[in-house]
Amino acid sequence: MSKLIDVCLLGTGGMMPLPNRWLTALLLRFNGKMILIDCGEGTQIPLKLAGWGFKSIDAIFFTHYHADHVAGLPGLLLTMGNSGREEPLCIYGPPGLIDIIKGVTVIAPQLPFEIRLFELSKDNVATSGFGEIEIHSIPAEHAVPCLSYSIEVKRAGKFDVQRAKDKGIPVQFWSRLQKGETIEVDGTTYTPDMVLGEARKGLKISYCTDTRPIGSLVDFAQESDLLICEGMYGEEDKIEKAIEKKHMTFSEAAMLAKNGNVKELWLTHYSPSMDNPEDYLCNARSVFSNTVIGRDLMSKTLVFE
């Protein structure tokens, strides 16, 4: 199996960075391109420790605009600029993005690259094409407009050599058709479906933080290979606080994973008052056995089955 997509959980904290816990952020790497989701205070440090570089981050996605998810952006932009970046940077987020970026870039007014902003509607599921990756968003339930994201790598059907031969398709076009390209030559059109079988199972990563476990998120995370989900509170007796603050407990995140039929759950976005998340892992595993306590800089490579 070939390597497909790398995932690095840069930090796992909520509200404020701690000496042993950076704020929640996620870094994804695919075919040399990188996507960052959220950028709280201090995110540059785990980015540096991860060793993947930051100059080549192609896009940043924000779940929402509380400070623990956006305050690290101006410093990161300045560092990217100082590293010699000139390519445009795309930034996505829920409504309010334009005002937020205008505000935080007051202290980073002159950058050597263009910033392109894309506000995603809070009323509709939005899809953004990003090369071979599809990034979908859906409204979450938090105190401010907030989005959850899913990252999908599609996988085309298997190339059928015999079908290509039977249709008389020139060999020099086979690889292009296999990559999904439509070819027109001498009045004849060749399309990928002429030589490819049914689409095979790809990869799906879902990222849900700062939200209650609403029903739409179950469908949204359905069949994810990896669900990275907030677990603000490990204790079961914190359920009322979770409801009030619009967060989740470990067991609620685990139920979301179970109902969504995901393969693996990583917990993240812990309350600063929770010193040892491992103490409450049993509350999640009693609901969904393949639950992992997320750790800063924890990484994994996902591959096609």
CA atoms of 152 and 136, how far apart (whole Å)? 8
In a domain, 305, yes or no: no
Please state whether beta strands 3-11 and 183-185 pair in parallel, antiparallel, or not at all (unpaired). unpaired
Q: Please spell the DSSP secondary structure of 94-135, one letter per residue.
A: STTHHHHHHHHGGGS---SS-EEEEEPPSSS-EEEEETTEEE
Q: How many CA atoms lie within 13 A of 162 on its CB side?
A: 1
Are the C-beta atoms of 276 and 173 separated by less than 8 Å? no
Q: Find the DSSP H helices in the chain.
A: 44-50, 67-70, 73-82, 97-104, 161-166, 174-178, 215-220, 239-245, 250-259, 281-285
b/e map 181-202, b = 16+ CB within 10 Å: eeeeeeeeebebeebbeeeeeb
Q: Which residues are catalytic?
A: 68
Are the C-beta atoms of 193 and 175 separated by less than 8 Å? no
In a domain, 26, yes or no: yes
pLDDT tens per residue across all 305 residues of the chain: 346 899 999 999 999 999 999 999 999 998 888 999 999 999 999 999 999 988 889 999 999 999 999 999 999 999 999 998 999 999 999 999 999 999 999 999 889 999 999 999 755 555 556 767 889 999 999 999 999 999 998 877 788 888 888 888 888 888 888 877 888 888 888 888 888 877 778 899 999 999 999 999 999 999 999 999 999 999 999 999 999 999 999 999 999 999 999 999 999 999 999 999 999 999 999 999 999 999 999 999 999 87
Co-location of 221 and 240 in the same domain: yes
Instruction: Determine the structural domain holding residue 162 and report its residue range.
Output: 158-197
Residue 270: give its domain's CATH number: 3.60.15.10
Co-location of 95 and 228 in the same domain: yes
Co-location of 105 and 211 in the same domain: yes
In a domain, 128, yes or no: yes
Co-location of 138 and 56 in the same domain: yes
End-to-end CA separation in angstroms for the chain: 8
Residue 1, pLDDT score: 38
Residue 159, pLDDT score: 80
Co-location of 183 and 78 in the same domain: no
Co-location of 225 and 296 in the same domain: yes
Contacts (Cβ under 8 Å, ≥6 apart) of 163:
194, 195
Residue 132, pLDDT score: 74
What six digits make up the tokens of 186?
A: 């001498």
Residue 54, pLDDT score: 85
Domain boundary among 175, 197, 219: 197
In a domain, 42, yes or no: yes
Domain boundary among 141, 172, 197: 197
Co-location of 33 and 178 in the same domain: no
In a domain, 150, yes or no: yes
- Total of domains in the chain: 2
Co-location of 57 and 183 in the same domain: no
In a domain, 61, yes or no: yes
Are the C-beta atoms of 53 and 78 separated by less than 8 Å? no
Are the C-beta atoms of 267 and 250 separated by less than 8 Å? yes
Strand partners, 59: 35, 90
Co-location of 187 and 287 in the same domain: no
b/e map 19-41, b = 16+ CB within 10 Å: eebbbbbbbbbbeeebbbbbbbb
In a domain, 234, yes or no: yes
0.85 exceeded by pTM: yes
Residue 235 DSSP one-character state: S
